Amino acid sequence: MSWLHTMIVIPFIFALFVPFLYKFFTPRIHTGWFVFIVPLLLFLSLLKYIPTIAEGKTVYHSVPWMPSLGINYTTYMDGLGLIFGLLITGIGTLVVLYSIYYMSKHRESLHNFYVYLLLFMGAMLGVVFTDNVLVLYVFWEMTSISSFLLIAYWYQRKKSRYGAQKSMLITIFGGLAMLAGFIMLSMITETYNLREMFNQVDVITAHSLFLPAMLLILLGAFTKSAQFPFSIWLPDAMEAPTPISAYLHSATMVKAGIYLVARFTPIFGGNAEWFWVISSIGLITLLYGSINAVKQTDLKALLAYSTISQLGLIMCLLGLGSAALYFGYGDEATVYAAAILAAIFHLINHSTFKGSLFMVVGIIDHETGTRDIRKLGGLMGLMPISFTLTIIGSFAMAGLPPFNGFLSKEMFFTGVLNASQMNIFSMDTFGLLFPTIAWISSVFTFIYCMILLFKTFAGRYQPSKLEKAAHEAPLGMLISPILLASLVILIFFFPNVLSHYLLQPALIAILPIFAESGGIDVKISAWHGWNTELFMTLGIVGLGTFMYIYLKKWSGVYGLFSQRWTLNAGYDFAIERMERFSEGFTNQYMTGFIRDYVVYIFAVLIVMLGGSLWLFDGIAMDVSNDAPISLYEGGVVVGMIIAAITVPLAKSRLTAIIAVGVLGYLVSMLFVIFRAPDLALTQLVVETVTVALFLLCFYHLPEFRKATVPMRFKLTNLIISIGVGVIVTIIALSANSTRLFEPISSYFENSYDLAGAKNIVNAILVDFRGIDTMLEIFVLTIASLGVYTLIKLRLAGRD
């Protein structure tokens, strides 16, 4: 196993030790200090790969998982994976440091918090470093489950449970769709390996499953990255603790969909469908998020909608830049490839300023007891460091200099302006919409950034509305946002360091057509003269300032739209209707009578199996090769039939128990006849114990009632019983008469040479299907733990 594999596994392994560290060291040492080592070690390990990746090399390792099915645990690192790995571990390190001071070691279940956090970190690393689509899906769903646990961390709150459920339903729905898309791709290419799929782009494009596979994969990406209309889960996920919001919803989980789109651009890029779906959905999401952010009164809700908006911006750029693959390598391709570069650059910038802003909002909530903008104000003098950090973060998000957001926002404007001049994909008709909507969205972005800054820190201080007197946070809580804010400024002045070492390799990973040339010659600078992009920025500042000043005059327009017609209302209505339908439907067949349930099961069995045998001509009767039935074998069978009939007709429990025992012993006789003494011995032991237990239990039960109850004839019972008997008999005879493959018994008969075992049955259980046996034991272990937990809770008096 390579170091890249080990890096993915380390968070999972360390998560096993967190509960013990919490138990033995709390409250003397905060559990976070132990966890802090993990992302820091991983981040430092990834830094050493930067020179290798910058030289155009990649890191590739493969470990067999299911080689017979072509499924291997393959890790792959290129420029794109490295950026995401650095964000996951780097932001993760700062979030853990921040959480040490934010999360109380006395009042919080820190072991749960850090276990969930490490599970999520390991799953995200698995997503960005795996090269097998099925393994990628496994890690993808692990991020959904671990984020569900993190969002529901304060599970006592109804809103936390609601937000966690919504996020899981939407993201797992998208994940299942994505899995279907992966399966379609594997059917087309006959491989699960991404690198091999990249080599069959022509085959994929020409296939009839191209469009369905593309749409299903995009469905997974859009749900994870909160793209319209699936963006409704992200604001409700803000019920999670602020460190989680800063980690999941600014730098990692919501960027997983961005990663997926970027990773599959070499396969689907250059096509009109891919271009239009991604760029248009991204643009709509940008507009939707920015408009809705302005009306929010909760600081975290404002940041949630701002995140939706910024994710839409990045997604739109990825869609626009994919047009470079249509032109192939050349000047036109270089022009549109700049949009991809802008997307990657803004991805990094957004993680820095948004992570800092989330942490500052957490500080405000922690030190004042509220996030309600209507209760805040006048904190500038009381929290000067937080005020400075908010200036940096909000101005960067608004796209103002001297902050990194200004650089990537100007590149975004360049991308949409270039797109408006395309002469492909019908852009000559609709192209002008891109810069227009982008500019309008940026105006609203400027407004909500000003609301975040001035409504919180300017104005009049209102101590009576706060739960506690406002004061600056301790230094430990400020370190992480200060480091991120410092990066915001440093990137503005030294952006080309990123350009050479990170942006160019990521660009080549997304657009392989530039691999031979080493990327595109990009020099990021703050000044490009008095161009259209700069005038667009000046217009945003001017109109945005005007609209912010007169916010009260026009914000009433939000009240004109009924809440009944929002996406959230639609989601709630759909969930409520589904629950009502499920409850009504379930009440129809959940009658409480075992007979009804047996009828359902057997009826389905008759229809499905009988129909399959009939439709696919599966009935076959060939007894020519069957061994003759001896007299004593027939006698044993007849005895079994008599014993079975005796059980329901017995007038006393003792007779019924004896009949059951006779039936079991006669079965063991068949095992002896067919040369299976170990099975016969097991059957004899089990039957003896079972009969003894029956006798012990029935001894304490009352006698049979003497009253005679007349039994009514039920046609349904007759049809079901005869149908099941006939179907099972036909299946048994047909299976015995059909030989599609060589019998496997001859393979097991060679168990001594294969496994060194003289007992075939033991060899099958322990060696040939040892994994199956181990999992059965594992299931029993889980059941035992569940029983133990329920007993323990009952003894503790908990519900």
pLDDT for the residue numbered 11: 95
Max CA pair span of the chain: 104
User: pLDDT at position 752, please?
Assistant: 79
pLDDT, position 38: 95
Question: Is the separation of the CB atoms in 395 and 485 below 8 Å?
Answer: no
pLDDT at 628: 80
Average pLDDT, the chain: 88
Residues 741 and 299: their CA atoms lie apart, in Å, by: 66
DSSP, residue by residue, 25-74: HTTTS-HHHHHHHHHHHHHHHHHTTHHHHHTT--EEEEEEEEGGGTEEEE
Identify the band that residue 499 occupies on the pLDDT scale cut at 50, 70 and 90: confident
Specify the DSSP element, H or E, that contains 514: none
* Angstrom distances, CA of residue 296 to CA of 37, 429, 523: 37, 35, 38
Q: What DSSP assignment string belongs to 86-111?
A: HHHHHHHHHHHHHHHHHS-TTTS-HH
Q: Between 159 and 467, whose confidence is greater? A: 159
Least confident range of 55-64, 90-99, 424-433: 424-433
SS3 sequence, 328-384?
Answer: CCCHHHHHHHHHHHHHHHHHHHHHHHHHHHHHHHHHHHHHHCCCEHHHCCCCCCCCH
pLDDT digits (tens, 9 = 90+) for 140-195: 999 999 999 999 998 888 999 999 999 999 999 999 999 999 999 999 998 899 99
Tokens of 549: 């000043």
* Cα distance between residue 24 and residue 22, in whole Å: 6
Is the pLDDT score of 600 beyond 60? yes
Q: Is residue 707 over pLDDT 60?
A: no
pLDDT tens digits along 398-408: 999 999 999 99
Where is pLDDT greater, at 168 or 71?
Answer: 168
Model pLDDT for residues 715-739, shown as the tens digit of each residue: 888 888 899 989 998 888 888 777 7
Q: What is the token pair recorded at 500?
A: 């050479």
What is the structure's pLDDT at 144? 93
Contact 237, 245 (CB under 8 A): yes
- Tell me the average pLDDT across 591-610: 88
Q: Exposed (0-12), middle (13-18) or buried (19+): which is 319, by Cβ within 10 Å?
A: buried
Please return the burial class of 536, using the count of CB atoms within 10 Å of its CB with bins 0-12, 13-18 and 19+: buried
| Average pLDDT, integer, range 247-261 | 88
Lowest mean pLDDT among 97-101, 473-477, 606-610, 716-720: 716-720
Is the pLDDT at 521 greater than 80? The verdict is: no
Sign of the alpha-carbon dihedral angle for 156, 159, 160, 165: positive
Residues 72-88, mean pLDDT to the nearest whole number: 92
- The pLDDT value recorded for residue 62 is 86
Residue 179 is predicted with a pLDDT of 96
Question: Residue ranges of the domains in the chain?
Answer: 276-549, 557-590, 594-703+713-754, 755-799
Token output for 185: 């791709």
| Mean pLDDT, residues 36-42 taken together | 95
User: What confidence score (pLDDT) does residue 29 get?
Assistant: 86
CB atoms closer than 10 angstroms to residue 276: 15
This prediction's pTM: 0.81
Environment class of 399 (CB within 10 Å of its CB; exposed 0-12, middle 13-18, buried 19+): buried
Three-state SS for 130?
strand
Residue 708 pLDDT class (50, 70, 90 cuts): low
Asked whether 62 and 191 are in contact (CB, 8 A), the reply is no
Query: What average pLDDT does this structure show over 301-326?
Result: 93
Q: How far is CA 621 from CA 56, 479, 733, 738, in A?
A: 65, 79, 6, 8
Number of helical (H) and strand (E) elements in the chain, helices listed first: 36, 2
Most confident of 22-31, 50-59, 168-177: 168-177
Does 254 have pLDDT greater than 60? Answer: yes
pLDDT in tens, 372-424: 999 998 899 899 999 999 999 999 999 999 999 999 999 999 999 988 888 88
State how far the Cα of 479 lies from the Cα of 215, in Å rounded to an integer: 43
Task: Give the C-alpha separation, 791 to 200, whole Å.
Answer: 57
User: How much is the pLDDT for 647?
Assistant: 87
* pLDDT score at 69: 73
- Give the pLDDT confidence score for residue 518 in this predicted structure: 65
pLDDT at 798 over 60: no
pLDDT at residue number 249: 79
Residue 80: how many CB atoms within 10 A of its CB? Answer: 24
Alpha-carbon distance 525 to 478, whole Å?
30
Cβ atoms 498, 407 nearer than 8 A: no
Tokens 């420029």, located at residue: 79
Q: What angle do CA 301, 144, 364 make, to 5 degrees?
A: 30
Average pLDDT on 355-370 reads 92
H/E stretch holding 77 reads strand 71-77
Asked if 537 and 414 touch (Cβ cutoff 8 Å), the reply is no
- Polymer length in residues for the chain: 799
Model pLDDT, residue 764: 82
Extract the tokens encoding 3: 């170091």
CB atoms inside a 10 Å sphere around CB 760: 18
Instruction: Locate 96 and state its tokens.
Output: 């853990």
- Highest mean predicted confidence (pLDDT) among 203-217, 563-577, 695-709, 744-758: 203-217
**Crossing angle for the helix pair 133-151 and 110-129, to the nearest 10 degrees:** 160
- 601-654 pLDDT, tens digit each: 999 999 998 888 888 887 887 777 777 878 878 888 899 999 989 988 887 778
Contact 57, 104 (CB under 8 A): no
- Spell out a b/e string for 285-310, using b for 16 or more CB atoms within 10 Å of the CB, else e: bbbbbbbbbbbbebbbbbbbbbbbbb
Q: Which residues of 542-566 are buried (b: 16+ CB within 10 A; e: fewer)?
A: ebbeebbeeeeeeeeeeeeeeeeee
Strand partners, 63: 73
Selected residue with higher pLDDT from 651 and 223: 223
pLDDT score recorded for residue 484: 95
Q: 191: exposed, middle or buried (C-beta count within 10 Å: 0-12, 13-18, 19+)?
A: middle
Closest to 476 (Cα-Cα) out of 772, 225, 103, 730: 103
| Adjacent-strand bridge partners of 59 | 77
Residue whose pair of structure tokens reads 């960067």 in the numeric block: 396
**Residue 130's beta-bridge partner residues?**
75
What is the pLDDT confidence band of residue 796, given thresholds at 50, 70 and 90? confident
For residues 82 and 126, the answer to whether their CB atoms sit within 8 Å is no
Cβ-proximal residues to 705 (8 Å cutoff; 6+ apart), any chain: none
Angstrom distance (rounded) from CA 268 to CA 283: 19
What pLDDT was estimated at residue 712?
A: 67
The pLDDT score that the predictor gives to residue 107 is 65
User: Sign of dihedral through CA atoms 178, 184, 186, 188?
Assistant: negative
Any idea what the Cα angle at residue 271 is, between residues 269 and 273, rounded to 5°? 110
SS (H, E, C) 617-644: CCCCCCCCCCCCCCHHHHHHHHHHHHHH
Q: How far is CA 554 from CA 30, 441, 548, 559, in A?
A: 49, 17, 10, 10
Mean per-residue pLDDT for 765-791? 87
Q: Between helices 110-129 and 31-47, what is the axis angle to 10°?
A: 10
Rg, the chain, Cα only: 33
Contact 397, 354 (CB under 8 A): yes
Per-residue pLDDT, 706: 55
- Range in 11-25, 188-202, 673-687 with the lowest mean pLDDT: 673-687
Residue pointed to by tokens 């390190």: 93
Rounded distance between C-alpha atoms, residue 79 and residue 498, angstroms? 11
DSSP state for residue 592 in the 8-state scheme: S
Are 415 and 320 in contact, with CB atoms under 8 Å apart?
A: yes
Residue listed under structure tokens 């937080």: 386
| Residue % of the chain over a pLDDT of 70 | 97
144, 176 in Cβ contact below 8 A? no
Q: Flag the least confident range among 32-41, 192-201, 671-680.
A: 671-680
Residue carrying structure tokens 């903008």 = 373
Torsion of CA 757, 763, 766, 770, to 10 degrees: 130
Q: H/E element holding 712?
A: none
Chain centroid offset of residue 69 CA: 24
pLDDT of 445 strictly over 90: yes
**C-alpha distance from residue 106 to each of 115, 362, 626 (Å):** 17, 19, 74
pLDDT at 171: 94
